[in-house]
Amino acid sequence: MTPHDMAILFPAVAGFCMVIGGMLLIWKGAIVLAGTDSSTALSIEWEKKFKLNTQAPGIAFFILGLLFSSLAIYSSRSTEPIYVVGTLDDVNEIVTVTVAPQQLWEIKSGSNGVIDGMFRPDTETINLKFTAACYEDAQIPHNLSKIKDRIIKIDNIKLKRKCSNSIETRPENIVSTTAPLPPIGSQPAFGAVQ
């Protein structure tokens, strides 16, 4: 189970337990949902922006349960995709964009082959690697916190050409044929009985 899965599972279980526990306490009579006097009322205030007063403190179990369950639902949502759009200047080939974290994490083993180490993954900055036939690869770092609308825009990137795309014609590579060639518009003769 990954830490992300545990971060979803624990609030969901806690929220479920809070709601079921609140129902059991109400059933046993330990708490009541009926109004109480103002001295035993529940009051919650957050930065003078949010204020909640209730004279039924038993409702707090349900509010906390709902809060934990909502946190689990919010954490379980899938991450939204990031789009890469743009054009490369003067490139006539198919370009492959490889996305990888900028920092590589290394864990080395001891001389006896035992591996015991840790790393903290940080994918805030990623490398975009552009690869095309007859061009040198280019790597450009991108900070994910600076992108807007989940779109990485590529502009003014030039790949350096390694080879020419023109084929040289040399007379020694041209082979003459002695057989007469059929006219261009004639039906093909291959596969037919001759």
Of the two residues 76 and 131, the one the predictor is more confident about is 131
Q: What confidence score (pLDDT) does residue 7 get? A: 74
In the structure, what pLDDT confidence band is assigned to residue 39 with cuts at 50, 70 and 90?
low
Q: Model confidence over 83-106: pLDDT tens digits?
A: 888 888 888 888 898 888 877 778
Tell me the pLDDT of the chain averaged across its residues.
77
Quick one: pLDDT at residue 56?
67
Q: Do 123 and 144 contact (CB within 8 A), yes or no? A: yes
Instruction: Quote the Cα angle for 148-153-159, to 5°.
Output: 155
Cβ of 182: how many Cβ atoms within 10 Å?
10
CA-nearest of 62, 56, 66 to 21 is: 62
3-state secondary structure of 44: strand
Write out the two tokens for 186.
């004639």
